[in-house]
Amino acid sequence: MHSTQISGLFNTPIAMANLTDNLPISIAILDKNRRVITINSAFEALSGFYREDIRDIPCFHVTRSRLCMQNCPMEKGPTHIEPVSIETDIINKNRELIPVQLNLAPVRNHQDNCVGYIETIKDLRSVQENTSLIHHAYAFDHLIGKSNEMIKLFQHLPMLAQSDSAILITGETGTGKDILAETIHQASNRSKAPFVKVNCGALPETLLESELFGHQKGAFTGALDNKPGRFRLAHNGTLFLTEIGDLPLSLQVKLLTFLDDQVVYPLGSTKGFQANVRVIAATHRNLDQMVKEKKFRQDLMFRLNVVRLHLPPLKNRGEDVRLIMDHFIHEFSSRFNKQINGFSKEALNKLLRYSFPGNVRELRNCVEYAINICQKNEIQLEHLPAYIAESESEPENNDPVNQIAETSTWIIPQTSPSNDNQKWADMEKNMILSALIEAKGRRKKAAALLGWGRSTLWRKIKQYGLDS
């Protein structure tokens, strides 16, 4: 807790927090029964837990590391443990799996008896090589894509990462706004400091204010200790406010004040804390419309919207779908120790024709499910989730031919046998366009209307340049 004292080190006792909170590495002090005595601010930021909430809790309930379940060094007992350093992972409060380097050493008294343990954790996300992406020609950290929108984004990210300007990320649910925000943080000079995420729609207003700005002891009923708040935990790092459109109006004012002067005022305190924090916000809502409806402050919108990045829906990203599928196959095949080389023709065609309303998140879940149940070297149609396998195939949204079918500005000349000057090629091209419009872009149906095989239609579409 904040009141933990250290005696004998200096002339007067000092608070443990004053010694450890300014260190950038996560530190936890455990008793000999492996229960938490205290943690520092970096540990709070990494794990998502506050020190006052986890005191006397067994450490494996806090770190939830793979090491805890498989071979905890402290299970040997205090008389046998030696300092260890190992790469493993932890699961934070937001249920995110984080690769870490965990260092553990016994704390001994003057009689050389173990009285507890000190544990330090280093976040490896910024330095760990992701083998599936290192040689990827169309990637920026954990973002993958070769569509025009993604290439433009990759070009701007290095410059944006070095700036401290506020960023607003927009896009549908599941498009990867969280990953983009963390990618910007990891590519910045703040990468060694905390990346702290807060979901503005996950907590009621009264709790959210305390979570963001912290509170002083006695500020309200139940405030039994000081709480630093997420702004303070993100000091020298990045605060990511996801679902910013759900932030209550009263807190929008307080956030705007912070963005103007960079000072945090905890509840119940008149003394502010100068926080060096970069703010990145994200939303799937239309903030411009919310401003018009007086549901979001225009001045805050202007303040957050210094740089706006938009992640397009997966259905509009063309060849990116295949790239992302290949990446997830590699990732989950390695994780589940399976030799899966790809999709069957039928399964691949079904996925490429599916619209994925849940975007990249839905695609990831689909591939993970398929690899879990697949017992072959190739994912078949029956391995896909039933709702996808049984769905009616939709036209490819980035297909120019399908875009023709969705627009009303195309004027198709009527073919006439009396027009001797019109070449057969022009007539056939117009027939194909008319059939595609009548079939609403569905090539299989268009081929049936023309009385052709599907392969014949595809060949003629390519012949007349309708696919470019």
Tokens of 411: 């004027």
Please compute the mean of the pLDDT values over residues 212-223 and round it to a whole number.
77
Query: In 124-201, at which residue ranges do the beta strands (DSSP E only) sit?
Result: 139-140, 143-144, 167-171, 195-199
Contacts with 281 (C-beta within 8 Å, 6 or more apart), sequence order? 166, 167, 168, 169, 240, 241, 242, 244, 304
- Please give the average per-residue pLDDT across 309-324, as a whole number: 91
**Could you report the per-residue pLDDT of 223-255, keeping only the tens digit for each?**
677 788 899 899 999 999 999 999 999 899 999
pLDDT at 73: 77
pTM of the model: 0.66
Q: From 312, 309, 254, select the one nearest 280 (Cα to Cα).
A: 309
Give the chain's mean pLDDT.
Answer: 82
> What are the phi and psi torsion angles at 379 (to 5°)?
-75, 125
Domains and CATH numbers, the chain: 5-123 (3.30.450.20), 131-311 (3.40.50.300), 314-389 (1.10.8.60), 400-463 (no CATH)
Q: What are phi and psi of 162, to 5 degrees?
A: -85, -5
Report pLDDT for 459: 76
Cβ atoms of residues 404 and 395 within 8 Å: no
Q: What is the pLDDT of residues 82-113, one digit of tens each?
A: 788 888 888 888 778 888 888 888 888 888 78
pLDDT category, 81, cuts 50, 70, 90? Answer: low
Residue 143: pLDDT over 60: yes
- Distance, in Å, from the CA atom of 18 to the CA atom of 10, rounded to the nearest integer, reads 13
pLDDT surpassing 60 at residue 460: yes
Q: What is the mean pLDDT of residues 450-458?
A: 74
Q: What is the DSSP string of 313-359?
A: PGGGSTTHHHHHHHHHHHHHHHHTT----EE-HHHHHHHHT---TTH
